[in-house]
Amino acid sequence: KCYTFNGANHTISNPSTNITGPKGGLSLVLFLDADESSQIYNPDYPTSGSQGVRVVIHEKGTFPDPENDGFDIEPGHSVNAALTVNQRQLLKPPWGKCANYDAEVYGGFTYRKKLCQLSCTQRFIYKTCGCIKSSLPVDKETAHKEYCLKIHAQEWLKLNFSQGNLTIIRNDLKKLRCQNHEYPSSDILAQDGCKCREKCMYHTYDMTLSQAEWPMRGVEIEFYCRLIMTADNYMNSSIYDTFHNISEYCNFAKPENESKILRKMYGDTLRQNFIRLNVYFKDIEMKVIKQAEDFTINSMISEIGGSLGFFVGMSIITIAEIFLLCWNIVGVLKKRVTVSPEHQGNEATQKSASHISNHSNNSGK
């Protein structure tokens, strides 16, 4: 059997706490009602044949997955689960791949990527086997379908007298094998509606586990008399049917030798049937892990604006420099080509004077 505390469709009066440690958390005493005659062991199943309970701590409203996410507690122990909360905030496209599924519900559970994948597995099993698996969630397509574990018990009982319908029995076995077959994930996720994305914001819990033997040896009778017998609905519980004969030893003092006998008679049996689980927050602060864009639109506009301003400025300076260079070149060329008339007259007078001087020198000789 599975029990959920503070599940999707249940609310408690005060679900929040601001106190850390076991006193500010949830404390459960679990009765296993262990009966050796009712044990079923399947050597092919990894978690079969163990005694105790399997615990899953998950976000409220989400689908519990004991096979993949749970941890085991053995009888006769007090287990402390100290929690720290993590909040993950993912980005939507084009930066990320998450999607906002706040309003989408799968069989009464809020959306998570794993829930989507498990629902797709359920649909694939139904299409392949004609029945659904009891450990997987159901959605609109698989709701109210027959479970693969539903067998024709009467036909199986008739096998003891060689009267069972072998066709029906073979069909039951075929469905059981079909639901337990490992199907390729590529085939499962290729179905319509199975492009499962993670929710954009969700919570996870990190756990630190510790345990000790409980109840301690020597106080087993006191544990039963002072704790179990004072519980609500004790008289109508299966605990009463199993252990109420212990109550006759609650109201009088016992010699030491008799106490040892009682502890030997009932101590181990009580420990094999009871577990205490304490779940609490180790830290009331929440760790937030948030994805951020490497390059936002604002950053892009700023970069473009800065680059554009730089290149425009460089372009204006370059154009001005080119214009100034051309102006200087034109000025130099103009000076070489254009000669003033006054300058030409001076050159002619100097040449004539030089010629007359040379001629006079030659005549003297």
In angstroms, the Cα distances linking 210 to 81, 113, 195, 279 are 7, 30, 39, 11
Nearest to 240 by CA among 77, 3, 33, 37: 33
Phi, psi of 207 (to 5 degrees): -120, 140
Average pLDDT of span 134-146: 88
Residues in the chain: 365
In a 10 Å sphere around its CB, with 0-12 CB exposed, 13-18 middle and 19+ buried, how is residue 221 labelled?
Answer: buried
In angstroms, the Cα distances linking 338 to 34, 258, 341, 348 are 121, 138, 10, 17
Say which residue, 255 or 318, is predicted with more confidence.
318
Share of residues in the chain with pLDDT > 90 (%)? 24
User: Minimum mean pLDDT among 149-158, 189-198, 200-209: which range?
Assistant: 149-158
- How much is the pTM? 0.70
pLDDT tens-digit readout, 79-113: 999 999 999 999 988 888 888 775 566 777 888 89
Per-chain mean pLDDT for the chain: 80
- Euclidean distance between CA atoms 156 and 332, whole angstroms: 116
Query: Under a CB-based contact definition with an 8 Å cutoff, are residues 207 and 81 in contact?
Result: yes
Instruction: Give the pLDDT confidence score for residue 337 in this predicted structure.
Output: 66
Q: What is the CA radius of gyration of the chain?
A: 45
Query: Under a CB-based contact definition with an 8 Å cutoff, are residues 41 and 49 in contact?
Result: yes
Confidence of residue 208 (pLDDT cuts 50, 70, 90): very high
* Amino acid symbol at 24: G
In the chain, DSSP finds a helix count (H) and a strand count (E) of 10, 8
Confidence of residue 277 (pLDDT cuts 50, 70, 90): very high
- In sequence order, which residues have a C-beta less than 8 Å from that of residue 148 and are 6 or more positions away? 125, 129, 131, 132, 133, 134, 175, 176, 178, 179
**Cα atoms in the 13 Å half-sphere on the side-chain side of 99:** 10
Confidence of residue 310 (pLDDT cuts 50, 70, 90): low
Q: Is the pLDDT of residue 17 over 60?
A: yes
Q: Is the pLDDT of residue 341 over 60?
A: no
Average pLDDT of span 7-14: 62
In angstroms, the Cα distances linking 221 to 20, 39, 204, 273 are 31, 27, 40, 14
In a 10 Å sphere around its CB, with 0-12 CB exposed, 13-18 middle and 19+ buried, how is residue 119 labelled?
Answer: buried
Instruction: Give the pLDDT confidence score for residue 9 in this predicted structure.
Output: 62
Say which residue, 126 or 343, is predicted with more confidence.
126
DSSP structure string for 55-78 = E----TTSPP-HHHH-EEE-SSEE
- Euclidean distance between CA atoms 34 and 274, whole angstroms: 9
Domain extents in the chain: 113-197
Q: Collapsing DSSP states into helix, strand and coil, what is residue 273? A: coil
Confidence of residue 257 (pLDDT cuts 50, 70, 90): low
Q: Collapsing DSSP states into helix, strand and coil, what is residue 227? A: helix
Q: Is the pLDDT of residue 365 over 90?
A: no
Query: Under a CB-based contact definition with an 8 Å cutoff, are residues 211 and 144 in contact?
Result: no
Confidence of residue 348 (pLDDT cuts 50, 70, 90): very low
Q: Collapsing DSSP states into helix, strand and coil, what is residue 31? A: strand
Average pLDDT of span 142-160: 80
pLDDT tens-digit readout, 313-336: 667 777 777 888 888 888 778 777
Instruction: Give the pLDDT confidence score for residue 102 in this predicted structure.
Output: 59
In a 10 Å sphere around its CB, with 0-12 CB exposed, 13-18 middle and 19+ buried, how is residue 253 labelled?
Answer: exposed
Give the orientation angle of helix 113-129 with respect to helix 166-180, to 10 degrees: 150
- Euclidean distance between CA atoms 137 and 64, whole angstroms: 10
Identity of the highest mean pLDDT range in 120-124, 250-254, 306-310, 331-335: 120-124
- In sequence order, which residues have a C-beta less than 8 Å from that of residue 290 and are 6 or more positions away? 88, 89
Instruction: Give the pLDDT confidence score for residue 256 in this predicted structure.
Output: 61
Q: Is the pLDDT of residue 185 over 50?
A: yes
Query: Under a CB-based contact definition with an 8 Å cutoff, are residues 45 and 165 in contact?
Result: no
